[in-house]
Homo-oligomer: A and B are copies of this chain.
């Protein structure tokens, strides 16, 4: 049985010390032997309102130092069943969105080729999801996608640009990266330039769950339903932190009121446990608008819960 990477314990080193890898895991320079690779993608120029997500990977990791390995609520112990490492940040081109998207796509191709690692991306803005989906689809074919977000991100273009944080899912649909009947967009709300912002993706088959339909309710049931609907398909989970209400996550690029609560986000991710998760991301945290660190903390904890929801690999158990 191989030895699994473990976070540094708070009993060995005070939590405000140590490397700022995710949960103070080892920093890996190669993928050998890894089940899961956490990777930062600090790109923020695909956003239309408040920039600053370039600092999100760093702050999510900073806040993650307070998370311990055992999930007291669910009983999960992800570091006992998976070999997880932080592989640092991609060397993006901070001045060019197209060039960065190319770098992300090539980097994910490299990660996915010749390894079965599950990549967990720390954005960055939502624009990074498209090149990730491209690389993922080359390996897995059209995937089911759970997209938690305030917005459907299905515009055609803005200022003539076709690859921004607002166009990800139209491109993904057009390019056949997703199984359009199995795309779940959860937390949608707010306002649009045209009434078609929801209708268009619905016409593709995307399933929409408006935040307003979920208020004052547990999301465990919805999560379970989606898990069953997905079955054994490969699934990608993309979590835009603006899905949460700004009361719970103010530090984001385009906050929208009336969102999900942190509790609902936990319920959803936990209920999805058991799906065939092949990759996931956490995007749109903007630390400059998060003076208490709460948003980065929520994001870090949700990434931890994603680690808990990963399917158990046969080779990692005895």
| Given contact pairs A48-B10, A71-B191, A292 touches B92 in the complex (Cβ within 8 A) | no
Query: A287 vs B88: C-alpha distance in the bound complex, in angstroms?
Result: 24
Closest B residue by C-beta to A91 = B13
Q: Is the CB of B248 within 8 A of A73?
A: no
Quick check: is A230 within 8 A (CB to CB) of the other chain?
A: no
Which of A107-115, A139-147, A254-262, A276-284 lies at the binding interface?
A254-262
> Which chain B residues lie closer than 8 Å to A95 at the CB level?
45-46, 97, 158-159, 161, 164
Closest B residue by C-beta to A287 = B288
> Which chain B residues lie closer than 8 Å to A217 at the CB level?
216
Query: A124 vs B209: C-alpha distance in the bound complex, in angstroms?
Result: 37
Quick check: is A5 within 8 A (CB to CB) of the other chain?
A: no
Q: Which of A97, A195, A197 has the most CB of B within 10 A?
A: A195
Contact mask for chain A residues 77-106; partner B; CB cutoff 8 A; 1 contact, 0 none: 100000000001111111111010000000
> Which chain B residues lie closer than 8 Å to A13 at the CB level?
89, 91
Label chain A's interface by main secondary structure. loop
Query: A262 vs B213: C-alpha distance in the bound complex, in angstroms?
Result: 14
> Which chain B residues lie closer than 8 Å to A297 at the CB level?
246, 255, 257
Quick check: is A235 within 8 A (CB to CB) of the other chain?
A: no
Q: Distance in Å from the Cβ of A30 to the closest Cβ of chain B? A: 16
How many copies of the shown chain assemble into the complex? 6
Quick check: is A170 within 8 A (CB to CB) of the other chain?
A: no
Set B50, B159, B164, B250: member contacting A288, Cβ < 8 A: B50
From residue 242 to 298 of chain A, which have CB atoms closer than 8 A to chain B? Answer: 245-248, 250-251, 254-255, 257-258, 261-263, 266-267, 288-294, 297-298
Quick check: is A44 within 8 A (CB to CB) of the other chain?
A: yes
Taking A16-B49, A73-B189, A246-B248 as known contacts, 16 extra A-B pairs with beta carbons closer than 8 A to each other, sorted by chain A number, are A45-B97, A51-B54, A68-B191, A69-B191, A96-B97, A99-B160, A212-B266, A212-B267, A215-B218, A216-B216, A245-B248, A247-B262, A257-B301, A258-B301, A290-B292, A291-B291
Show the binding face of A for B, using Cβ within 8 Å. Answer: 9-20, 27, 40, 42, 44-46, 48-52, 54-55, 57-58, 62, 66-73, 75, 77, 88-97, 99, 158-161, 164, 188-195, 197-198, 210-212, 215-218, 245-248, 250-251, 254-255, 257-258, 261-263, 266-267, 288-294, 297-298, 301, 304
